[in-house]
Structure 1
């Protein structure tokens, strides 16, 4: 929407910018690494308020050498700058971008400044709205006398009093628009506030001319009422955005401002959140939230993990257990060893994903931006042609000016500008209410297009937490020995065996030297030279033995002779059957793509009623399968959790992972669901599809408004007041239509209803049984 654009930065201009960088060190510290030699810094930009601002900043800032990209979030008034390099080099580049933003008329500062306390923008809007409303009511009362037939000196007196009331009120109440318009014009560009400012001031100027020339008509009431409706629309827009992102604020508020740090000598000092570093010991009392991700070093207590798993039941924690940032300590006194800084924590990751929900450039958003970018030159040209057309037709410059002002006002693209972001931020809030985080609006658009689903097995369709099945059949001493060896591995089966063996009293366990052999198992050697092995049968035993390939088993041996065989089972994830049934009801076929053995995958596929599955799939084979589906014209949603799923998650049309997934898997996924149930997949699909429909409806409403309103204004059938009411009404209609997404609360019942319907109508025993197991 900018009238002009700056040229590419020259070397001399960059040197000049970088010669005055007082905040380069601070920006370098505030940035975070995002891989591939890139760092990201998030800044507050209070002056961003429309599509023109977004288009200008995202176009001009990447022209600076070293700036990879810039993404503006309109709801949070933030810009994410991604710069090349590390340390002070990245800080210098980001500082150059800050200087460039200042040159374009946009001030910025790091999050946490005074501007973020309270809501000064809303306070200013409400004060301006009150002044405009009070003044317009008084001027209208005076206008009643004029409308009733007051003439000559009496009429002039009422006009003059109206002018004295309207003048200060227009100057005060309209400064929101004037300030923005002046900032744009003074930097050689235009935004939607320029024609609004012209319309309000021209209407007042014409009224003043009428007053001093003893004219019959003045439009002070129209000017003030016009301003009142414009401010009403702007206030509604601001309040809607603040309400839509309330989930982000509530989530961010879960992080405390600091914590008590336990020193090496036992001292206890309070440190702010930003000062906490990995390795520091944090004292966490009952009733306090974990400030950063950590591991329990000392103490035992109950914690509320609902932020992570969506479950209300307390979780018993003890030494060695991980506790993500934002979890609440309910009982006991704990010492937590920090594993991540605050800005890299699980809570910060969720906040970042929520804030990014609107900033993605989906197809609809790009369409709206392109439409808005041509607004300023087109509307000014249209108003100018309307003015000269009426001058040529009637010769009445006052009427021509009023009609041109009406055109300026009525063509304001507020409804078009709200069509996409309002729906996206509300959809992100609805997803969050259902325990689903989304990275950006484009992910929702892509999910709405999905027509095929691919699921990983372990940790996705199953819980990924195997349990020992035959503990009662194994001697206590053998179970204790196996558990002791298993403690030295992080493999899921080793963890399950170690957990099963806790608390078992056993005598005379041998002294062992233990090492792990990747892909095989654990080997332990006693001082006497006896070799114990714990792993797959081919590794542990001296002779081949076929195992039960339907499940998972681990063999414990001594010198190649079997001591015990531990058999494990992994339960189906809650809601797996319901999710698959719901997806099939929506025309989305499901497929299992697993790295596990053939027999377990086949058994699970049979339980869930999935006909297409592939076992022993390596990461490259998963990607190849997704590419083959894409070649068939499929738009695939990939749901996975492990490190080996990360390439497939990135390669899919859209992807989803549970919060329990590996860090790499969560980073690669477009959606992350926090609750245990897999029903999050059809719920996210339903919300995304409804959001897609509402966006299309909003576009239709905005286009219909312009098709009707603009010709009426050009033909002189809409006064400036009517134009203001029409423009504000179009924005209100778009907002109310978008809010329909928030008013509906039946998302979580979709998958269950689908299963019940399929069970009743088709009598599908397989799906019904698997849904019951999952529940």
Structure 2
């Protein structure tokens, strides 16, 4: 079985794509900004078959002027291209005559020139599987032909006379020819596309082997030879197709998590117009600001906010919990969640391509695209495969000709070498494990942004935790509201509305005015607090004591275990607000499990010494540092790295983003701020912190399986290649051996799908607060948790 896989389009569809393809403007509208004048677009490229295809595209596409880099995902056949956007136009703006149009036009032409037609995602690519249908039809035809040719061959082997033998050979040739043409087109089409554009892929030697086997048999038939190999050529094709079909099925099984996630997205929604009329719009046509009518039983199409109605909703895709949660006016609803009981009217807050569900799908698909060390080794081996195998087959033919003078024997041995040396197992060793591991993690509420992140997570030897929102639930409660002056509480609550910090959000819930300070300039300093400057020049500060009081504590109680937020005016103390927070579910178990895995853990927090020390004692952690600024967290991580460590940073806040980027590998909860979540390599959706040791154990198991796969692939080549070169393997045996090696590697990878004790972490009580959405405020629940 080749590591190649048939494209998702038929031959006719591929030809149509070659002639059409997306325009520069269509590519532009499907792209998304990355910042720093760069944009990214994802394209479907059905012609991507193997490691050689990946190497070619990732080498040639960046040579297009204006293209920064490209990454190819073999399982999804998606190519992510990052390109320059010097014009800086908006995503919906026309690009006629701009620099971006020049870049994207050149990019589209580059795809065509390389022989890899591309099209935009969509069009039901997640529905029916045309590639699988084509493979099954080809397999059926090859199987039918091989059985009939085999029956005729039995008669020849039984001692038929010359005339009868020639007749049976001609009948076999007539049966085999259309079967090879129809069933072999999957290989021939790919090989021809590669050769016609000046490069080779793994289908070239396979096609050559099948054609040579038939050509030798036809020559023997024309010259009235005693032996013909029509049965071998057709059966060879049958086994190659059987292996490829199994490969396709296993890849689809490995990608089931992505496919099932995509299916949570509806095709569209009923939009309520300003005049009250209703129109059904396709998913891609829904824009932020539109009002959507959601009936009971409907999936939420895009991220939105409830503007009217009450209902219970299934948030399992967000928090992994099966119990429904209530939503009402103001509640946030992520794409993919299920409305259960009541009718709702939502206001769309994001488009489909930027929704929570799209982000989750994007992270799942990115899991295979990372170029980790193991993946680079496999890609380099696959890239040099074509020239090496052809030289080896040619050398085998020449050697047998010199040794025996029998060109038939030499040719059949060379054909066996062409077939048996395909590095399918090596090409599959890494990506299948990465896809299966990403699916396994997703089933446990953990999203992976990059396949290389799993390799880095398996290497981690030290875990660094943020405190608020990470080790704690990030839902603090104000505990001294009755003791503070009402006017001070009102001022602080309105200033706090400008911040996404959990303590600020807890204060903001006490704001009855519902708006920011009028005409005030609001400035937030991550890790410090919020500053509000009035039109008269009065400066209010809300945050850490040293920030609010210009470096002075002014006699504050530093021994209190509660977290403190100070309100000041012009540097003079006004009031102090005390908060308590609940420990995040699974935190104690997670720390214990990390210790059992041999990992050290510590807390880095910007909070005061007393509450951090109390939390460390509750968790059984001996190492903690309090009062740390964002720069201090980065410095600590760099110090660990310089000492030879590979730290994992787990954090959630805006102030954690630099540390998440600086760490060897990082993880954040889905409730994290946008910038923090985007900086992390892993995002866990469940409320339980046991996601951290679970991800480490799955990543370690994935690394072990990758190494096993490499060992199996190397062992196969060490045995099979010499056997073929020495003439101990016929083409048919070579096809069986090649298919078996790939199947063994894939089956070994699928062992990661088996549930083990690491997945049975306690779920605990269902959260009573509407789950937080990435980059959005938490929806208020009618139920409250105690402090």
TM-score range, shorter chain: 0.7 to 0.9
Shift of 1:513: 7.7
Tell me: CA distance 1:26–1:168, structure 2 relative to 1, closer, same or farther (3 Å): same
What is the aligned partner in structure 1 of residue 718 from structure 2?
A: 707
Do residues 417 (structure 1) and 427 (structure 2) align?
yes
Do residues 587 (structure 1) and 594 (structure 2) align?
no
The residue matched to 1:340 in structure 2 has which SS?
A: coil
Do residues 281 (structure 1) and 288 (structure 2) align?
no
What is the aligned partner in structure 2 of residue 347 from structure 1?
A: 357
What is the aligned partner in structure 1 of residue 35 from structure 2?
A: 35
What is the aligned partner in structure 2 of residue 737 from structure 1?
A: 748
The residue matched to 2:225 in structure 1 has which SS?
A: coil
What is the aligned partner in structure 1 of residue 679 from structure 2?
A: 668
What is the aligned partner in structure 2 of residue 486 from structure 1?
A: 493
Tell me: CA distance 1:330–1:642, structure 2 relative to 1, closer, same or farther (3 Å): same
Tell me: CA distance 1:547–1:409, structure 2 relative to 1, closer, same or farther (3 Å): closer
Whether the 8 Å CA contact 1:581–1:751 is kept in 2: the answer is no
The residue matched to 2:496 in structure 1 has which SS?
A: coil
What is the aligned partner in structure 1 of residue 698 from structure 2?
A: 687
Moved more, 270-279 or 116-125: 270-279
Give the TM-score normalised by structure 2.
Answer: 0.85
The residue matched to 1:191 in structure 2 has which SS?
A: coil
What is the aligned partner in structure 2 of residue 45 from structure 1?
A: 45
Tell me: CA distance 1:734–1:281, structure 2 relative to 1, closer, same or farther (3 Å): same
What is the aligned partner in structure 2 of residue 577 from structure 1?
A: 588
- Measured in 1, the distance between the counterparts of 2:287 and 2:127 equals 26
What is the aligned partner in structure 1 of residue 629 from structure 2?
A: 618
The residue matched to 1:98 in structure 2 has which SS?
A: helix
Picking from 321, 340, 352, the partner of 2:331 is 321
- Measured in 1, the distance between the counterparts of 2:334 and 2:626 equals 33
- Measured in 2, the distance between the counterparts of 1:258 and 1:416 equals 42
Moved more, 571-580 or 251-260: 251-260
Tell me: CA distance 1:99–1:205, structure 2 relative to 1, closer, same or farther (3 Å): same
What is the aligned partner in structure 2 of residue 67 from structure 1?
A: 67
Moved more, 401-410 or 337-346: 337-346
- Measured in 2, the distance between the counterparts of 1:583 and 1:542 equals 37
- Measured in 1, the distance between the counterparts of 2:448 and 2:494 equals 36
What is the aligned partner in structure 2 of residue 634 from structure 1?
A: 645
Moved more, 171-180 or 112-121: 112-121
- Measured in 2, the distance between the counterparts of 1:113 and 1:575 equals 42
Whether the 8 Å CA contact 1:47–1:106 is kept in 2: the answer is yes
Do residues 402 (structure 1) and 412 (structure 2) align?
yes
Whether the 8 Å CA contact 2:494–2:511 is kept in 1: the answer is no
Picking from 227, 230, 247, the partner of 2:237 is 227
Whether the 8 Å CA contact 1:133–1:228 is kept in 2: the answer is yes
Kindly report which structure 2 residues correspond to 1:142-541, keeping only aligned pairs within 5 A, or say none: 142-469=152-479, 474=482, 482=489, 486=493, 489-490=496-497, 492-496=502-506, 499=509
What is the aligned partner in structure 1 of residue 609 from structure 2?
A: 598
What is the aligned partner in structure 1 of residue 134 from structure 2?
A: 124
Tell me: CA distance 1:432–1:84, structure 2 relative to 1, closer, same or farther (3 Å): same
Q: Unaligned stretches of 5+ in structure 1?
A: 1-19, 503-511, 526-530, 753-772
- Measured in 1, the distance between the counterparts of 2:561 and 2:684 equals 29
- Measured in 1, the distance between the counterparts of 2:633 and 2:692 equals 20
Shift of 1:663: 0.7
What is the aligned partner in structure 1 of residue 707 from structure 2?
A: 696
The residue matched to 1:261 in structure 2 has which SS?
A: strand
Whether the 8 Å CA contact 2:126–2:262 is kept in 1: the answer is no
Tell me: CA distance 1:169–1:558, structure 2 relative to 1, closer, same or farther (3 Å): closer
- Measured in 1, the distance between the counterparts of 2:542 and 2:741 equals 70
Shift of 1:322: 2.3
Deviation digits for residues 451-481 of structure 1 (CA, Å, limit 9, x no counterpart): 111111111111110124467xx49x97899
Shift of 1:332: 2.6
- Measured in 2, the distance between the counterparts of 1:166 and 1:123 equals 21
- Measured in 1, the distance between the counterparts of 2:485 and 2:728 equals 92
Shift of 1:537: 8.6
Moved more, 683-692 or 579-588: 579-588
The residue matched to 1:378 in structure 2 has which SS?
A: helix
- Measured in 1, the distance between the counterparts of 2:635 and 2:542 equals 34
Shift of 1:63: 0.6
- Measured in 2, the distance between the counterparts of 1:606 and 1:115 equals 53
Tell me: CA distance 1:426–1:535, structure 2 relative to 1, closer, same or farther (3 Å): closer
Tell me: CA distance 1:554–1:32, structure 2 relative to 1, closer, same or farther (3 Å): closer
Whether the 8 Å CA contact 2:488–2:575 is kept in 1: the answer is no
- Measured in 2, the distance between the counterparts of 1:636 and 1:533 equals 34
What is the aligned partner in structure 2 of residue 98 from structure 1?
A: 108
- Measured in 1, the distance between the counterparts of 2:292 and 2:720 equals 62
RMSD: 3.2
Tell me: CA distance 1:116–1:301, structure 2 relative to 1, closer, same or farther (3 Å): closer
Aligned pairs, number: 719
- Measured in 2, the distance between the counterparts of 1:628 and 1:559 equals 37
Whether the 8 Å CA contact 1:486–1:522 is kept in 2: the answer is no
What is the aligned partner in structure 2 of residue 7 from structure 1?
A: none
Whether the 8 Å CA contact 2:467–2:612 is kept in 1: the answer is yes
What is the aligned partner in structure 2 of residue 107 from structure 1?
A: 117
- Measured in 2, the distance between the counterparts of 1:21 and 1:196 equals 29
- Measured in 1, the distance between the counterparts of 2:758 and 2:479 equals 36
- Measured in 2, the distance between the counterparts of 1:313 and 1:674 equals 15
Moved more, 742-751 or 125-134: 742-751
- Measured in 1, the distance between the counterparts of 2:172 and 2:638 equals 70
Shift of 1:312: 2.0
Do residues 716 (structure 1) and 727 (structure 2) align?
yes
Whether the 8 Å CA contact 1:372–1:417 is kept in 2: the answer is yes
- Measured in 2, the distance between the counterparts of 1:78 and 1:733 equals 26
Give the TM-score normalised by structure 1.
Answer: 0.87
Shift of 1:700: 0.8
Tell me: CA distance 1:559–1:301, structure 2 relative to 1, closer, same or farther (3 Å): farther
Per residue, is there more helix in 1 or in 2? 1
Picking from 631, 634, 646, the partner of 2:657 is 646
- Measured in 2, the distance between the counterparts of 1:271 and 1:483 equals 44
- Measured in 1, the distance between the counterparts of 2:273 and 2:231 equals 68
Deviation digits for residues 85-122 of structure 1 (CA, Å, limit 9, x no counterpart): 04423343133112111111111111113665411111
Whether the 8 Å CA contact 1:461–1:573 is kept in 2: the answer is yes
What is the aligned partner in structure 1 of residue 774 from structure 2?
A: none
Shift of 1:522: 9.6
Whether the 8 Å CA contact 2:304–2:334 is kept in 1: the answer is yes
- Measured in 1, the distance between the counterparts of 2:341 and 2:122 equals 31
Whether the 8 Å CA contact 1:256–1:273 is kept in 2: the answer is yes
Tell me: CA distance 1:376–1:497, structure 2 relative to 1, closer, same or farther (3 Å): closer
What is the aligned partner in structure 2 of residue 10 from structure 1?
A: none
Shift of 1:373: 1.2
Tell me: CA distance 1:145–1:288, structure 2 relative to 1, closer, same or farther (3 Å): same
Tell me: CA distance 1:447–1:216, structure 2 relative to 1, closer, same or farther (3 Å): same
- Measured in 1, the distance between the counterparts of 2:422 and 2:42 equals 30
Tell me: CA distance 1:459–1:384, structure 2 relative to 1, closer, same or farther (3 Å): same
Whether the 8 Å CA contact 1:162–1:220 is kept in 2: the answer is yes
The residue matched to 1:259 in structure 2 has which SS?
A: strand
